[in-house]
Structure 1
Amino acid sequence: MVFEHILYNVSGRVATITLNRPEKRNALNGATVGELRTAFNQAETDPEVKVIILKGAGEAFCAGADLEYLQQLQRNTREENLADSKELMQLMQQIYYHNKVVIAQVEGHAIAGGCGLVTICDLSYAIPAAKLGYTEVKIGFIPALVSVFLVRKIGEGRARDLLLTGRLITAEKAEYYGLLNEVVPADLIEAHVAKVAEDLCTGASANSLKVTKKLITSVFDQPIENALLNAAEMNAETREHADCQRGINAFLAKEKMVW
């Protein structure tokens, strides 16, 4: 499929989705959100794809909502704005619950909705010069959707700090807060993320990655007793999977397993 606002490429077992509006600092609008949903769905249903990298073209990762898009929202009815909000909600759910590992490669500022995209990825790496933040309150808006995920990721206290102040923080501070996994020099980040993706592809079972993600995302949805029972069920089910049997046999035989 040909996209207008993003690029989609598969190499090896890694799908790379690139926000491709550098002249707009990769800002989000309805069309871009729709294309992202299509691309993530394409990667999810492609049996050859095991890991997804999300990045931005140009100097920014993503500057949040497009200004023209924001102007249009002011003219929308409440029903139109609700429908539009649900589109973004569905994209965030799609990434968060995706059955493939999603890695954010942040080579520029990630602001508002752009920082929201970083928040919901499984792993996130950024260059030292990147600034991150949720600036919605500064324009009279609210960081509604991302708050659900950010509290889970970094805790209520730090989420209150970032969401209420709307301040931008350095990549180093974002790593300290747990929003990023690591800050990587600009000249090394592409190779670093590629190596992380390659290690996931060759070092772990696709089924194990999928089920582990499902376990993690379901923890907050249930009382602890239910979560533990669910984990026990998934544990038993995974033991019967061919990947687990192959992996254990290779371990017992002291053979290196290449997935």
Structure 2
Amino acid sequence: MATTDNEFITRDDADGIAWITIDRPKKLNALSTAVMGELSAVLSAAEADPTVKVVVLQGVEKAFSVGYDIAEEVELGVSTAEQWHAGLSNNVGLTMQVWELSKPVIGAVSGWCLAGGCELAMACDMLIATEDAQFGEPEIRFGSGPVTLIMPFVLGQKKTNELLYTGDIIDAPTALDLGLVNKVVPADQLQATVQKLARKVALTPLPILRYTKMALNRAYEAMGLRDAVKANLDIAAVLNSAYTEERREFTELVAGKGLGAALAWRDERYAAVED
């Protein structure tokens, strides 16, 4: 059994499986700078640990993660393309660390799985979701966009276009139909289902798992995944620094009244056109 003394990330090991948990429930496991730093360090430790064959990544309570900490970005005053590029590079780096981890990563998703949190989940090798899980990248609704452009390689062109243009959120059964997740289970069966899958994978010797993951990743990278992620990083920095009245109002609401008020304003704008 291994645990960490971090503030936001815990690790528990059993049977060759490292269970890594994002534990920031008051912020729905939002990915602040501190959370990302701790998570990266714990992932690196699991990577280097010869007793670990499979990694499980999960959140606590109502969310896997709602994505990058918008309130922190506003507080830091990130505005220029150069500033955005530096910050987004860290975000991309964390997601790609999950993608590149030499050991299989299983995502256990319950509740909200949005924006950068959704990208982190898509970087996992397999996903098990609860019936109440919700997936999406709603960034366009407040003048932003995807950071790590993985979705086209997971869902294909047309559905990716729809989700990224509209910012729509999909439920777990839809995510299953689209191939975003491997299985949907009741909430009280999530841990047992993930554990059973992880134990099955862990029966394979670690060198075989490493080379199998390498082959699978290289197949997607041959399709252009890594080039797409790098190209999008440069575009995302410019996109996030572009001025629009909507982005200005959203940012001012976050700074003056809090993120909840800004999100309520965003949702009200789209309420009339929701299904």
TM-score normalised by the chain length of structure 1 = 0.81
Q: Which residue of 2 aligns with 1:194?
A: 195
Q: Which residue of 1 aligns with 2:98?
A: 95
Q: Which residue of 2 aligns with 1:27?
A: 30
Q: What is the letter of the counterpart of residue 80 of structure 1? A: Q
Corresponding position: 1:54 with 2:68: no
- Same amino acid, percent of matched pairs: 34
- Per-residue CA deviations over 1:72-97 (Å, capped at 9, x if unaligned) read 35445543322211111111111111
Q: What is the letter of the counterpart of residue 222 of structure 1? A: A
- Per-residue CA deviations over 1:33-92 (Å, capped at 9, x if unaligned) read 111111110000000000011111111111112242131354455433222111111111
Q: Which residue of 2 aligns with 1:130?
A: 133
Q: Which residue of 1 aligns with 2:118?
A: 115
Counterpart CA distance in 1 for 2:195 and 2:71 is 34
Q: Which residue of 2 aligns with 1:185?
A: 186
Q: What is the letter of the counterpart of residue 47 of structure 1? A: P
Contact 1:30 1:84 in 2 (8 A): no
Contact 1:44 1:99 in 2 (8 A): yes
User: Tell me, which stretches of 5 or more residues in structure 1 are unaligned?
Assistant: 224-259
Q: What is the letter of the counterpart of residue 188 of structure 1? A: Q
For the residue of structure 1 that corresponds to 2:187, the secondary structure is: coil
Contact 2:88 2:147 in 1 (8 A): no
User: Shift of the alpha carbon at 1:213?
Assistant: 1.0
Q: Which residue of 1 aligns with 2:269?
A: none
Q: Which residue of 1 aligns with 2:13?
A: 10
For the residue of structure 1 that corresponds to 2:188, the secondary structure is: coil
Give the stretch that moved more between structures: 17-26 or 6-15. Answer: 6-15
Q: Which residue of 2 aligns with 1:241?
A: none
Q: What is the letter of the counterpart of residue 212 of structure 2? A: T
Q: Which residue of 2 aligns with 1:157?
A: 158
Counterpart CA distance in 1 for 2:76 and 2:122 is 24
Counterpart CA distance in 2 for 1:102 and 1:67 is 26
Q: What is the letter of the counterpart of residue 179 of structure 1? A: L
User: Shift of the alpha carbon at 1:144?
Assistant: 3.1
Counterpart CA distance in 2 for 1:156 and 1:184 is 27
For the residue of structure 2 that corresponds to 1:132, the secondary structure is: strand
User: Shift of the alpha carbon at 1:215?
Assistant: 0.8
Contact 1:73 1:81 in 2 (8 A): no
Contact 2:109 2:127 in 1 (8 A): yes
User: Shift of the alpha carbon at 1:12?
Assistant: 2.2
- Per-residue CA deviations over 1:162-188 (Å, capped at 9, x if unaligned) read 111110101000011111011011111
Counterpart CA distance in 2 for 1:161 and 1:118 is 19
Q: Out of 70, 73, 77, which is 2:73 matched to?
A: 70
Q: What does 1:79-90 align with in structure 2 at a 5 Å threshold? A: 79-90=82-93
Counterpart CA distance in 2 for 1:17 and 1:220 is 25
Q: Which residue of 2 aligns with 1:207?
A: 207
TM-score normalised by the chain length of structure 2 = 0.76
User: Tell me, which stretches of 5 or more residues in structure 2 are unaligned?
Assistant: 224-275
Q: Which residue of 2 aligns with 1:166?
A: 167
For the residue of structure 2 that corresponds to 1:144, the secondary structure is: coil
Q: What is the letter of the counterpart of residue 57 of structure 2? A: L
CA RMSD of aligned residues (A): 1.7
Contact 1:13 1:50 in 2 (8 A): yes
Contact 2:91 2:147 in 1 (8 A): no
For the residue of structure 2 that corresponds to 1:31, the secondary structure is: helix
